[in-house]
Amino acid sequence: MIFSFSKRPLLLIAAGVLAVFGFAPYGSYPLAVLALTVLFTQWQAARSPREAARIGFQFGLGVFAAGIGWIYVALHDYGGMNALLALLATLALPCAGAR
């Protein structure tokens, strides 16, 4: 069986991660513009609403995965939570949101 590997999901996830650096505390706003350019270009190339939704999900996954680190810092560094529990709570958040 031959598996077809598309680089599009990786591009969209990477663009989502890149978008995070366009906001505080990094403030490199051209990166956010570049990331959104990738997203909108891919949306224009979508052949169906389902594909457009998948594109948005992949981009959002990158944004969410890169932007969730502050929760661990808040729980562990400022809240005094055990490091393992803070990690588990941080990882549980996306799981709870996927329900």
Domain extents in the chain: 8-66, 68-99
| Calpha distance 82→68 (Å, rounded) | 18
| Calpha distance 64→49 (Å, rounded) | 22
Tokens of 76: 């562990």
The pTM is what?
0.77
Lowest mean pLDDT among 3-12, 20-29, 74-83, 85-94: 3-12
| Calpha distance 15→42 (Å, rounded) | 11
| Calpha distance 99→92 (Å, rounded) | 11
| Calpha distance 39→11 (Å, rounded) | 9
> pLDDT tens-digit profile of 43-83?
999 999 999 999 999 999 889 888 888 899 999 999 999 99
